[in-house]
Amino acid sequence: MRSGGLALLAAVAALGAAAVAEEPARLRYEVVAVKRTLVVDAADGERPLAVGDHALAGDTLHTGARSSAELAVPERAALFKVAAKTRFRLAHGQPGVLLELGRGSLRAIFGPLADGEEQERLLTTPSAVLAVRGTDYGVEVARDGDTSVVVFAGTVEVRDVGGLGEAVAVPAGQMLRVRHGRPAGEPAPHALSGADWDRGRRQRVEAPPQGGMQSGSGGPGQTSGGRQGSRQGGGSKRPGG
């Protein structure tokens, strides 16, 4: 009986060790740039992060006022350039999801994966899911959970988080808005560069609703007042963050 009990305990211990060994390692997010304040939520309060530090998948972070930060994920060939007053979670336990943007804005830059590996690299917001394979885009989440996506290079596939509508492919030079609780709209042109986005320039372009243009709109790439939505044409902009 004693030897049987020891054997059972040994088997249980072996199973437990195997389960731990199979648990996927948490991705490391390297802090490569910080201006003013980048904070990670910890069990004993908030902890500031500096260049050279790292955060792990599952952590929640935020930037302060007039702050910015950059986090790199070498394993996924990803770089996130985070603007001021932005709150986000480094996703854990959700296949393919790298970051959950709760509020604020950031620019996401993706390079090719090693050896041409195909792997989902997703970003989520309260209203949308963004899927890419090598691209560069900006994303902003408003207080009400609406999401604006501006693509600078490559293509981003955008769908509403509730699966109410079809996925929409947004190519370079286009943007769209996903209203919280509604399907993604149709893409419309923008005239911003990645450098504009990094400087906090934003373009208020309302993408036309599915099935037609908005009433009173002068066409894609124009504001609701009919003015051309570009730097050259005097489009409306507001500082980011």
Main-chain phi, psi angles of 157, to 5 degrees: -95, 120
Work out the mean pLDDT of the chain and round it to a whole number. 81
Which residue bears the tokens 């124009």? 222
Give the domain 26-239 fold.
Jelly Rolls (2.60.120)
Please name the residues in contact with 218: beta carbons below 8 A apart, sequence gap of 6 or more: 226, 227, 228
- Using CA atoms, how far apart are residues 137 and 16, in angstroms rounded to an integer? 42
Q: Which residue has the higher pLDDT, 16 or 63?
A: 63
Q: Which two tokens stand for residue 239?
A: 């500082």
Confidence of residue 234 (pLDDT cuts 50, 70, 90): very low
Q: Is the pLDDT of residue 99 over 60?
A: yes
For the segment 17-69, what is each residue's pLDDT rounded down to a tens digit?
A: 444 445 568 899 999 999 999 999 988 889 999 999 999 999 999 999 999 99
The structural domains of the chain, with segments of one domain joined by +, span 26-239
**CA separation (Å) from 63 to 8, 27, 42, 219, 225?**
51, 20, 15, 36, 34
> Torsion over CA of 178, 182, 184 and 187, rounded to 10 degrees?
-70
For 120-156, write each residue's pLDDT tens digit. 999 999 999 999 977 999 999 999 999 999 999 999 9
Instruction: Enter the pTM of the model.
Output: 0.76
Contact 112, 87 (CB under 8 A): no
> Does pLDDT of 208 surpass 90?
no
Per-residue pLDDT for 211 more than 90? no
Amino acid at 54: H
CB 77 within 8 A of CB 87: no
- DSSP-assigned letters across all residues of 82-132: E-TT-EEEE--SSTTEEEEEEEEEEEEEE-PPGGG----EEEE-SSEEEEE
Per residue in 175-192, pLDDT tens?
999 999 999 999 999 999
The residue assigned the tokens 């950031």 is 106
Q: What's the per-residue H, E or C state across 158-187? A: EEECCCCCCCEEEECCEEEEECCCCCECCC
Question: What pLDDT does residue 44 have?
Answer: 82
Here the tokens at position 39 are: 């904070």
